Chain A
Amino acid sequence: MLLIPCPWCGPRNQVEFTYGGDATVNRPPPDAPDKTWFDFVYLRDNPRGPHLELWLHSAGCRQWFKVCRDTRTHEILAGAAQTKISSGPAS
């Protein structure tokens, strides 16, 4: 089981969370060229190792936040958990 460190609620069981994917992609401005939009919507680094990702505490405080997790071991790495962001992933 993943014990996910919610910056507001503390470490909680993964079943309370919804995954939001790669947190390193940034939504481009509406008038950005197609290539920029294509990169944002479709392409991912998909790293084998540390991965900065978004999680939503959907059955808790309902805040989005970032977690850095090793995709080889599922170990949650310290450091990024307290990073607050202003909005969720593009919807």
Chain B
Amino acid sequence: MSDASRFAELCLPHLDSAYNLARWLTRDTQDAQDVVQDACVRALKYVGSLHGNDGRAWFLTVVRNAFYDWLARNRPAEVVHDDNVTVDAAADLATPGPEQVALRNAELRVLGDALAALPAQYREVLVLRELEELSYKQIASIVDIPIGTVMSRLARARGMLQRSPVLYAIGGQTARSAP
């Protein structure tokens, strides 16, 4: 089978998943399309190296790599090196102070905004888990981290969402009872 046919068979059915991931990572419709286009070019080129039958996880890995290359080219200031120390530091920076809470209360109206406001390393695992409904094992292979890190990153991402003012602002049933 040619590479183009392999791509059509293994990756194309997951174009919505690819776009959804890119859309949440870039937070922009046009940028997301650029990232997916680039990912498709790469996937067409390298689909011959895909072994096993999980075309979805493989294609999402390519999309994620295309996103981080795009980020380095277009928003170099946002690149966070993917070791736990810097990621955790970024998470702490994201913990809002009182003025930021007030500002965010005004800005964030829906839960999607709170997700979009998370650092990329937390956003991507939540999107892969909650919207794409992938297993920890698949997420570990896409993000290239151990399963234990998937576990702790998801737990932390959820904690950050639960502390988000959005959850107090609307409905608020899921907001933490104690600070």
A complexed with B: no
Q: B residues touching A (Cβ–Cβ < 8 Å)? A: none
